[in-house]
Every structure is written in structure tokens, then in C-alpha cells.
């Protein structure tokens, strides 16, 4: 049997890269098959090493909200390259970026740049612990906040049991400080705070979850969480690494009208270059070195390429009607998919906010991780491959959200729907 170009590349990659990939979900472990090796991308399209075109709804897992290789972003990076790649000293571009974000999101009074989303959440948690002098943290089942030790923890068998690591290599001694609760569950929240509230340093959550496919929690859940954190002096951290500047210019905090104490960002703010950030209330942020005793640092933090790419991107995001246009594109695709599933008599549920959407083979929209796990992943995987075969690149996992970019045209979306019609049809047959 002759191997495809991707199969050859995958085998080669596996010789010196664990599993052939530098981040696990790229290996297509959930959906099966061989990952597509990408040679380049432009606008809404990615091209494999043989020049095959895919309409891309992953967008590098979120950053590519303008589409790939946007000319203004690429020009900004080229100019930045000519001036040198990193200095380990402050630049005016870092101030520009901080001012931009603080202007858009009023509760960001101080902000610190880092190099990834993982670093942003890890640092925000250390800061919350340093600020409150408490150890325990709360996270929610199905939310992902990067791969730092405290956050790779799931709930024990009972709701409020001591956390157990979900990854080997995370000491149980670390995990025991993490309480994991079911997402979007007000009763669980209330009883956790009744029991431990005054011991919680912080609660961290994805305000709209995008790492268990996509789950939009209730307004009441958010209101209750904000009230309980305030009452018990726990720092409320919105992890907006994915939702920031994605579900709307002001992110999920604005969507729900909630003011968190700290927020974390990544992905979009670097336009595709490695970046992360955490920021919020001045009083809390002033605990970070060099102002305060919570240590946090980074050789490449505030990298000039990332800052200048991010600035070019913000120039586009802040133009009038950007998010209205983006939302209309997402709605057109998602409503179209929903209608086609109906036509084929397939149980299907979908949701979307701004440029982010979730697709489930289920009768109803999941409300939490348990519901997501009950959706039909076998059908999802079949659908994924039927679409991929036709040149449509959806998130290669039933547990990830997908993303729209402003570069996707009506034609791209219509072409996607024609392919979906066929893919849904094949599911029945
Ligand atoms: N938080 C959220 C909500 C994320 O979606 C991710 C990555 N998908 C992270 C944190 C971690 O970011 P990074 O992969 O840049 O470390």
C-alpha cells in the first residue's frame, strides 16, 4: 500500500518528535487518521504540502481572526524583524499594547505580557495566592487553562473531594490544593463556598468554555460566582485566552456584564506569534515583581515582533462593524449546518458567539462536561473526516470549539454547507 504524503511526513516526524507533534491535539488522536501537514496558509485557506486547499475553521486554535497571513500583520512583522528580534529591555511597543488593551477593557488597570496562555494563567494563580495568602484554588470540569501543575487536576469521585492529577507527573501534594467543580452548576458552587469559601485564593474559569467543544454558561451562574467571590474575598479570574477579542471586542466579561478581578489573554493579542498576558485590578497587580513580592518574569516577554503584530491586528479589530460582520458569518455557517442536520434527520445542536462556535451530535446543547461527554463522538469523527475529505478543516476533536475569521467569504461558507450536506448524508447511509 502506498502511503500518502501526510502519512510519510507523519512517520518521519515520529522519529524525533514525541507522537510526531509538538502539541497533542494535532495528532488527530481523537478523530483518528493522519494529521494534515501544512505548508502555508492565506486568508481563510490552508494548503498541505501537495498544494491541496482547505477552508480552515481552526485558525491556529483562535489567533487567526483576520485570516492567515493578513498583509498588515505580515508587514508589521517584517518591519519589526528589520529592527531586531528581542532586546531584553523595555520597548515602546509594550506600552502601546498595554494601553490598547486597557482602553478596550476598562477593568484592566495593569497588564503584564508573557509568552503563552499557560504562562498567563499560571502567573495569575500565583498572583492570586500571593495577594490573598491562601492556597486553595477552584477550577471547573471541562475547562482548560494550559498545562501548569495546579491546573491539570480533575475532581475526585465526590464533588468536593480533594483533586487528583489528570496528568502523570503532577504531585498529589499540588493537586490537593485544587478543587474542581462541575461547570455551570450553581448548587455545587454554593456548597463549595459554604464549605471552603474563606480558604479560596481564586476561582479560574473559561467564561464561555471552548475546551469541551463550546458551552455557554447561564447568566445566573456568572452572577452567583461573582457574588460569592466578592463575599469570600476570592479573586475571580476570567481565562479569556480563547474568548478575549474573539466573542466580541470586549470579550466574555462584557458579554455577561461581569467584572472579574483578573483576566488572562493569549492567542489573538499576538496575531499568531507566541504571546499571553494577565491583568486586572491595580491593587492585585501591584503585588507582582518588581512592585511586589510575587515573582514572575520572562526572557522573551513583550517580544517586539508579537507586540507589533498584535498592534496591527488591533487596528483591524477596532474598525467599525468588525464583530458584527464576524458574527454574521458565524451565524450563517452555524444556522446553515443546523438546518442541514434537520433536513437529514440527525440529532445536532450548535451554538456560537462572535467568531467562535460549537457543534454537537446531540439532541440538546450540553450544559457541562458530563453532557458534552454524552454527545455522539463517533458521529462527530465521521463528520469531521467526511468534511476533511472535501477540503473543509474543522477542529479535529469533539472536545474543541471551532473559529470563524473575517476572511471567510459568503462563497466559502456556502461551499462549506454544500460539503456538509454531503457529509450529513453519508452519516445516515
Ligand atoms: N486557556 C485557555 C482558555 C486556552 O484555550 C488555552 C489554549 N488553548 C490556554 C489557556 C493555554 O494557552 P497556550 O496553549 O498558549 O499555553
CATH code of 58's domain = 3.90.1150.10
Is the Cβ atom of 402 under 6 angstroms away from ligand 1?
A: no
Ligand 1: centre distance to CA 341 (Å): 31
Q: Which atom of ligand 1 is found nearest the CA of 243? A: 3
- What does each C-alpha distance from 39 to 3, 31, 118, 143, 394 come to in angstroms? 18, 22, 26, 31, 18
Catalytic residue among 6, 239, 371, 412, which?
239
Name residue, grid cell 458574527. Answer: 327
Catalytic residue among 136, 139, 267, 311, which?
267
Same domain (yes/no): 301, 423: no
Last residue of one domain, picked from the residues 268, 283, 317: 317
Last residue of one domain, picked from the residues 317, 342, 377: 317
Half-sphere exposure of 323 (CA within 13 A, CB side): 17
Average pLDDT value for residue range 298-302? 97
DSSP 184-207: T-HHHHHHHHHHHGGGEEEEEE-S
Task: Point out which residues pair with 165 in neighbouring strands.
Answer: 153
Same domain (yes/no): 80, 145: yes
Asked whether the beta carbons of 222 and 260 are under 8 A apart, the reply is: no
Is the Cβ atom of 397 under 6 angstroms away from ligand 1?
A: no
Is the Cβ atom of 240 under 6 angstroms away from ligand 1?
A: no
Q: What ipTM, to 2 d.p.?
A: 0.99
Average pLDDT value for residue range 120-140? 97
pTM > 0.95: yes or no: yes
- Ligand 1: which of 63, 147, 211 to mutate, most ligand atoms within 8 Å of CB? 211
Is the Cβ atom of 140 under 6 angstroms away from ligand 1?
A: no
pLDDT digits (tens, 9 = 90+) for 345-363: 999 999 999 999 999 999 9
What does the block give as the cell for 198? 474563606
Same domain (yes/no): 50, 102: no
CATH label of the domain that carries residue 115: 3.40.640.10
Nearest Cα to 360, choosing from 345, 344, 341, 333? 341
Same domain (yes/no): 62, 177: no
Same domain (yes/no): 152, 61: no
Ligand 1: centre distance to CA 19 (Å): 20
Is 239 in the active site?
yes
Is the Cβ atom of 116 under 6 angstroms away from ligand 1?
A: yes
Same domain (yes/no): 135, 225: yes
Q: What proportions of the chain, in percent to the nearest 5, are helix, strand and coil? A: 45, 20, 40
Same domain (yes/no): 243, 273: yes
- Ligand 1: which of 215, 267, 276 to mutate, most ligand atoms within 8 Å of CB? 267
Nearest Cα to 365, choosing from 345, 257, 416, 357? 357
Same domain (yes/no): 283, 348: no
Same domain (yes/no): 88, 231: yes
Res 153: pLDDT: 85
Res 428: pLDDT: 65
* Residue 163 binned pLDDT confidence (cut-offs 50, 70, 90): low
Is 149 in the active site?
no
Is the Cβ atom of 242 under 6 angstroms away from ligand 1?
A: yes
Question: Which has the minimum average pLDDT: 70-74, 285-289, 372-376?
Answer: 372-376
Domain carrying residue 341: 5-69+321-428
Exposed / middle / buried, residue 89 (Cβ in 10 Å: 0-12, 13-18, 19+): exposed
What does the block give as the cell for 271? 496575531
Is 83 in the active site?
no
pLDDT digits (tens, 9 = 90+) for 380-417: 999 999 999 999 999 999 999 999 999 999 999 999 99
Same domain (yes/no): 52, 103: no
Phi, psi of 366, rounded to the nearest 5 degrees: -60, 145
Same domain (yes/no): 155, 205: yes
* Residue 160 binned pLDDT confidence (cut-offs 50, 70, 90): very low
Is the Cβ atom of 132 under 6 angstroms away from ligand 1?
A: no
Asked whether the beta carbons of 422 and 341 are under 8 A apart, the reply is: no
Measured on CA atoms in the order 31, 34, 35, 41, is the torsion positive or negative?
negative
* Residue-wise burial string across 252-267, b where 16 or more C-beta atoms lie within 10 A, e elsewhere: bbbbbebbbbbbbbbb
Res 59: pLDDT: 98
* Residue 16 binned pLDDT confidence (cut-offs 50, 70, 90): very high
Same domain (yes/no): 182, 136: yes
Last residue of one domain, picked from the residues 253, 284, 317: 317
Number of domains present in the structure of the chain: 2
Amino acid at each position: 500500500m502506498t502511503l500518502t504524503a501526510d502519512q510519510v511526513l507523519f512517520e518521519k516526524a515520529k522519529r524525533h518528535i514525541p507522537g510526531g507533534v509538538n502539541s497533542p491535539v494535532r495528532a488527530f488522536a481523537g478523530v483518528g487518521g493522519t494529521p494534515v501537514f501544512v505548508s502555508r496558509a492565506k486568508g481563510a485557506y490552508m494548503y498541505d504540502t501537495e498544494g491541496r486547499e482547505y477552508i480552515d475553521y481552526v485558525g491556529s486554535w483562535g489567533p487567526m481572526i483576520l485570516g492567515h497571513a493578513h498583509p498588515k500583520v505580515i508587514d508589521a512583522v517584517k518591519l519589526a524583524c528589520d529592527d531586531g528580534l528581542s532586546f531584553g529591555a523595555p520597548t515602546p511597543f509594550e506600552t502601546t499594547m498595554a494601553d490598547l488593551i486597557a482602553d478596550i477593557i476598562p477593568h484592566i488597570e495593569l497588564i503584564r505580557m508573557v509568552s503563552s496562555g499557560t504562562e498567563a494563567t499560571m502567573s495569575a494563580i500565583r498572583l492570586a495566592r500571593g495577594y490573598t495568602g491562601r492556597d486553595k484554588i477552584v477550577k471547573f470540569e471541562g475547562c482548560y487553562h494550559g498545562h501548569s501543575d495546579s491546573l491539570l487536576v480533575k475532581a475526585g469521585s465526590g464533588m468536593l473531594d480533594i483533586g487528583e492529577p489528570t496528568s502523570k507527573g503532577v504531585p498529589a501534594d499540588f493537586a490537593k490544593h485544587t478543587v474542581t467543580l462541575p461547570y455551570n452548576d450553581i448548587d455545587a458552587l454554593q456548597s463549595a463556598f459554604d464549605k471552603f469559601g474563606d480558604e479560596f485564593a481564586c476561582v479560574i474559569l473559561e467564561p464561555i468554555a471552548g475546551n469541551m467543544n463550546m458551552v455557554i454558561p447561564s447568566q445566573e451562574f456568572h452572577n452567583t460566582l461573582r457574588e460569592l467571590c466578592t463575599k469570600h474575598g476570592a479573586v475571580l479570574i476570567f481565562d479569556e485566552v480563547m474568548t478575549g477579542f474573539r466573542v466580541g471586542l470586549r470579550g466574555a466579561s462584557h458579554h455577561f456584564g461581569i467584572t472579574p478581578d483578573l483576566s488572562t489573554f493569549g492567542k489573538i493579542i499576538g496575531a499568531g506569534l507566541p504571546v499571553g498576558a494577565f491583568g486586572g485590578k491595580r491593587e492585585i497587580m501591584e503585588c507582582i515583581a518588581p512592585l511586589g513580592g510575587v515573582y514572575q518574569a520572562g526572557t522573551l516577554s513583550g517580544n517586539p515582533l508579537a507586540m507589533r503584530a498584535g498592534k496591527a491586528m488591533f487596528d483591524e479589530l477596532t474598525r467599525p462593524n468588525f464583530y458584527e460582520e464576524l458574527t454574521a458569518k458565524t451565524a450563517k455557517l452555524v444556522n446553515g449546518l443546523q438546518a442541514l442536520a434537520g433536513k437529514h434527520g440527525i440529532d445536532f445542536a450548535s451554538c456560537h458567539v462572535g467568531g467562535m462556535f460549537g457543534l454537537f451530535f446531540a439532541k440538546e446543547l450540553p450544559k457541562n462536561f458530563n453532557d458534552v461527554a454524552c454527545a455522539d463522538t463517533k458521529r462527530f469523527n465521521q463528520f469531521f473526516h467526511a468534511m476533511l475529505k472535501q477540503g473543509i478543516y474543522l477542529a479535529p476533536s469533539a472536545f474543541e470549539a471551532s473559529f470563524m475569521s473575517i476572511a471567510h467569504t459568503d462563497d466559502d461558507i456556502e461551499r462549506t454547507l454544500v460539503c456538509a450536506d454531503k457529509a450529513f448524508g453519508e452519516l445516515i447511509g
